[in-house]
Amino acid sequence: MTTQHHLRIACVALALTLGGCASTAQQQGGADPYASLGGGGSSVEYSTAFPVASPEEAYRNGNAAMRAGDPDRALFEYLRGLRMEKRPQPDPLYSVGIIHHGRGNHDLAEKAYRWALEIDAGHLGANTALGIVLLEQRDFETARQHLEPLVARGRAPWQAYNALGVIADMSGEHAQARQHFEKALEIAPGTPLVLNNLGYSRYLAGDWPGARQSLRRAVSANPSYELAWRNLGLVYAREGDHETAIEAVARNGDRAKAYNDIGYISMLEGRYQDAMGFFHEAMRLSPAYYLTASQNARNLDSLLRRNGGGSREE
């Protein structure tokens, strides 16, 4: 853990329906236009798979593999279905993009989404997912320009509103971000990811009670949501409830990390003596945090000496 202030992870869950769309055309000869979308993976592994009679059958196999948690097999099925088509189809290309997106292969995901949009510019899933990929690549302005038309047409899924909320927060537009997150929750009530993002947005805006309320809803909906517990700990730390903050941040058992992080928040607030105590406790609990926490402590010690050794209590 460095001394850099905590930033919310902008990754967004893609839960859009994967549709099937195909004709029964035969595979074209010549070079394979889909080879690059395989990612060097499943073609060889599934070369002995039973043949399919149509693209539709391949896509059904792909959907079944996704439901079974086997994205490698799903990717193989979607691509062999596409190879049987006379022309590319947007839905399976979107499905291929979803698989690469989930693996963090942003370049391949973006290629698949853009290809789907070349065929069907109004494809809701590909439009939304491309905006999210751009957001995750920190191209905030292009992502915003891509997602806002979906919202303006009044048919955007919750993921689009959530992504726009993240972009607004990154620009310091917390009131607008809150509106986007609340709209996302109207579409998908109780979604932990959106509740976490709303809570963090309120945290950034200095609304500690509102942040605490949203984040407690997030961890109630998903008790294993580590990021939401972490953000909730930051709120408690800002409110001066350090004991509860430590318990929230240390839910995963890493108490040394929790003490280091809460120490950093205390330092930001000017509670320098508290911060020094937390850094020393982090060093005592774990050699893994000795270097990080000791550097934080040295930085704090230098700050105290520059300020004449004083501290501020609130």
pLDDT, one tens digit per residue, over 88-103 is 999 999 999 999 999 9
How far is residue 159's CA from residue 137's CA, in Å, rounded to a whole number?
Answer: 16
Report whether pLDDT(68) > 50.
yes
How far is residue 73's CA from residue 204's CA, in Å, rounded to a whole number?
Answer: 42
pLDDT category, 8, cuts 50, 70, 90? Answer: very low
Angle at the Cα of 107 (from 49 to 168), degrees rounded to 5? Answer: 130
Give yes or no for a contact between 245 and 275, defined as CB atoms under 8 angstroms apart. no
Report whether pLDDT(204) > 80.
yes
Give yes or no for a contact between 271 and 279, defined as CB atoms under 8 angstroms apart. no
How far is residue 35's CA from residue 29's CA, in Å, rounded to a whole number?
Answer: 13
How far is residue 15's CA from residue 24's CA, in Å, rounded to a whole number?
Answer: 28
Question: Position of tokens 């995750």?
Answer: 136
Q: Which of 3-7, 35-39, 142-146, 187-191 has the highest mean pLDDT?
A: 187-191
Task: Say if pTM beats, i.e. exceeds, 0.75.
Answer: yes
End-to-end CA gap in the chain: 26
Give yes or no for a contact between 278 and 260, defined as CB atoms under 8 angstroms apart. yes
Length of the chain in residues, anyone? 314
Percent over 90 (pLDDT), the chain: 56
Could you report the per-residue pLDDT of 207-238, keeping only the tens digit for each? Answer: 999 999 999 999 999 999 988 998 999 899 88
Q: Between the CA of residue 106 and those of 102, 130, 131, 243, what are the distances in Å?
A: 9, 10, 12, 40
Average pLDDT score, the chain: 83
